[in-house]
Structure 1
């Protein structure tokens, strides 16, 4: 007897105005498997899954669940069909508890008490079965992103999902958190659940999936067994050309010191010291990579240097001291001094999502003479400049009149990077440069950062991706608990040594077990210090 696919999509098409997001898509996902879907940003992956989850209605095509044709007009119908979805940007109420978020929308009757009691009991069982331990009484706003993602998975399982869709699940996770997520997914598969994993990270595809489908420009181009393919072949299928999976750069030629930081300290509004006497320097023509588990001071370092947050200590740029607390300590003054800043969180600090692409490209640089005509903004000039940046950085769709929220995460990132890199800064501050970005765009962004370095500019980069730190940096500084633990040269270190330093262990004795590193990282990851 032939087993029916858990999911089968036939002839799915979807257009948004002139943009054809999905074109005649056919895909079969077998039960009890992890099926990966990969493709460049804007390839149509998330649109396809949003159709399956009832967020969008297809213009054409049919959906079959367990061999039966199923109409999914909305997310309630998807949940009723046994489908759960964990979105890239979580759908949680931050001032509600874990328990309240799990029950929200699935209450049984007018009184909440029985629903909460049932959910508490079920959460205990799920935590034991799938390694989804999380405090049911914790507020969402007090949890790190790794824990919040577990809550999203628990929400789907509480609603008895047999099919779980995860959209770029590791885009906001550290490597340690991602590894734990993969163990959870393997446990779910072992229990017979069907998983669809949307990602652009080839390591994840090769590590956890059974089958992988490749999308390009709205079409399904290939479906292969993971064991019968390779990262190089998948990258070529995604992009339509051979892709260099490592950073191609010549040795750095460092020049004068551009940025000097001495004894930088930051205390937050709760009195917690986030930076504890950080000292470093970045020279012209080099990339200093800052490695560390999220939440150990890297964000605060970028924010102080970029003028978003105040601190104490001493910072000099090209030999001249920067005001840290006075009227000239703001981000606008930093930009005027030659500092460009690509923030870690493009949604909160890099873009206004409801504004057009051309408006976002002008933010922070609206006083530039080329954007002004007397007392008025020359919007036509700004739009022409935006169109040139969109073309150079291959932003899709190539439409400056699209609002920022209508671009995929990777294309949003390219908009921010285009705005900042094209200003020819003396110093580039860049946080998580390729978070949520596909393989082709990663290659392009890395090339642009290296080109800036080779033009004699200084680059300070923060990334939680150790492979990115090792391949892109000329020097590496490791942060833990608001301090610099030490510096290393990429060719003289490795992921194990950096992992020890990221866990606060400076003794690199070879007898230190890997389990100790993982335990230390686990205590740090996802927690709000």
Structure 2
């Protein structure tokens, strides 16, 4: 057997009382795409951070091309041919593509950065790997999929021979994800070893050669992708099979709308229209999905519906017939895509984040009673199956899936008539996804009017009673839940039914 491109041997890592990695062995070969999967909190990110040099193991070691190496920082990882593309891009929006790629390793001529050489090097890399990106373009104005290519090119520019991608499709449309997988195959064909960290089993089965499954910090399965199935991977991930989805009642309520959007037009700061003449309604007891490629107006629509953006002089947003309140309408529960930046206060505890917005109801003239706050937080933690050492830990100590459940717990218990949900299962594992979907359906069945935006067409089809499609700021199509992903995808690109 050939020597692996990289190998982790007997790696263990503890954070306080939590054993994140427990004696893990993992090897990735040159030219293969190796998927690493597991539930939130299974230890995937910690393991990849150790391989890249972000964390040091408490025991065990790392081999690179058969030789033991010591990694004290990511700089050591880069020096040993390791590269990592993080879920949250680490780019400078004010710099060009070429400047972002070569930063820290710029070609120099006569004591200055040689821009011509930098542009040529980036263009050559782009052509070699099929990662199209204009070296002169400013990164801040690029679509998400292109920015991700810049991250990959930056690692390859530094001659990465082992490339780690952490949840690479979390911010991509299905079409962009498909193109990414084609690129990964092209990169792997040159001999680069690729480690793909993902929750999406369809992607694992479509894009990888081998799979390693983690659960509670240990390896619970190693599979050749061609010889396994989604059911087998799920069982290794969560220790059980997923329950077969029950046939779901589709809702067609005919009462008065809880949310009505009428002829809404929204402009950006430069006066460019981002939404043009959008009208629709959501009634109590239904889930209405919003589909569209990135930049089609979803952000502007949801910000306006929740009161975070003014509807301007054209159009109306009505909640039970009354205009939406600017700032943040208390009649609307909101689960945003960016749960770290917009949905939680990172400096506060889990309990404080769970009860944010309830202070006025719980407070006495002496302030907030700690016993009441703690009891209420523990009740929500148990009801929504949030895994945490205690309700006093910082919200940042929770895994992504548990942080998402905490946001859902807070928002779904507000007893709001309208619930706006963005990317509800982005970056969470299959077990959490199942739980989140059940919570949303239960909220709908209790009379909630839910507006759901997701980049996953399968999720929209599974949850929505109707799906609306935005294209270039216009509402171009409406489908019932039986529409195929192909029809939805065509409408998203402007090909109308």
TM-score range, shorter chain: over 0.9
Tell me how far apart the structure 2 counterparts of residues 362 and 272 of structure 1 sit (CA, whole Å).
38
Superposition deviation, residue 401 in structure 1: 2.8
Q: Give the secondary structure class of the aligned counterpart of 2:390.
A: coil
Tell me how far apart the structure 1 counterparts of residues 136 and 2 of structure 2 sit (CA, whole Å).
41
| Aligned 1:78-477 pairs, distance under 5 A | 78-107=77-106, 113-114=112-113, 116-244=115-243, 248-252=247-251, 254-256=253-255, 257-311=257-311, 312-318=314-320, 320-323=321-324, 328-331=325-328, 334-335=329-330, 337=331, 339-367=332-360, 369-370=361-362, 372-374=363-365, 376-477=367-468
Q: Which position in structure 2 is the counterpart of 1:24? A: 23
Tell me how far apart the structure 2 counterparts of residues 172 and 111 of structure 1 sit (CA, whole Å).
41
Tell me how far apart the structure 1 counterparts of residues 24 and 143 of structure 2 sit (CA, whole Å).
36
Q: Give the secondary structure class of the aligned counterpart of 1:181.
A: helix
TM-score (norm 2): 0.95
Tell me how far apart the structure 2 counterparts of residues 460 and 417 of structure 1 sit (CA, whole Å).
14
Does the 8 Å contact 1:391/1:398 carry over to 2? no
Tell me how far apart the structure 1 counterparts of residues 387 and 49 of structure 2 sit (CA, whole Å).
19
Q: 1:239 to 1:271 in 2, by over 3 A?
A: same
Superposition deviation, residue 110 in structure 1: 9.5
Tell me how far apart the structure 2 counterparts of residues 275 and 78 of structure 1 sit (CA, whole Å).
45
Tell me how far apart the structure 2 counterparts of residues 112 and 422 of structure 1 sit (CA, whole Å).
61
Tell me how far apart the structure 2 counterparts of residues 72 and 222 of structure 1 sit (CA, whole Å).
27
Q: 1:476 to 1:161 in 2, by over 3 A?
A: same
Structure 1 spans left out of the alignment, 5+ residues: 509-529
Per-residue deviation, residues 22-70 of structure 1 (Å, max 9, x unmatched): 1111112122100000001111100000001010011111111111111
Q: Give the secondary structure class of the aligned counterpart of 1:166.
A: strand
Measured on the aligned residues, the alpha-carbon RMSD in Å equals 1.8
TM-score (norm 1): 0.89
Does the 8 Å contact 1:387/1:398 carry over to 2? no
Q: Which position in structure 2 is the counterpart of 1:48? A: 47
Q: Which position in structure 2 is the counterpart of 1:519? A: none
Structure 2 spans left out of the alignment, 5+ residues: none
Does the 8 Å contact 2:303/2:309 carry over to 1? yes
Superposition deviation, residue 255 in structure 1: 5.0
Structure 1 runs of 4+ off > 6 angstroms?
Answer: 109-112
Superposition deviation, residue 11 in structure 1: 1.1
Q: 1:124 to 1:454 in 2, by over 3 A?
A: same
Superposition deviation, residue 246 in structure 1: 5.1
Per-residue deviation, residues 234-258 of structure 1 (Å, max 9, x unmatched): 1121111111475752232525222
Per-residue deviation, residues 176-228 of structure 1 (Å, max 9, x unmatched): 11111111100011111100000000011000100000001111111110011
Superposition deviation, residue 299 in structure 1: 1.4
- Larger displacement relative to structure 2 (479-488 or 378-387): 378-387
Size of the aligned set, in residue pairs, is 494
Q: Give the secondary structure class of the aligned counterpart of 2:287.
A: strand
| Aligned 1:469-488 pairs, distance under 5 A | 469-488=460-479
Does the 8 Å contact 2:107/2:118 carry over to 1? no
Tell me how far apart the structure 1 counterparts of residues 96 and 370 of structure 2 sit (CA, whole Å).
46
Tell me how far apart the structure 2 counterparts of residues 342 and 176 of structure 1 sit (CA, whole Å).
25
Q: Which position in structure 2 is the counterpart of 1:502? A: 492
- Larger displacement relative to structure 2 (61-70 or 352-361): 352-361
Does the 8 Å contact 2:300/2:309 carry over to 1? yes
Tell me how far apart the structure 1 counterparts of residues 150 and 434 of structure 2 sit (CA, whole Å).
33
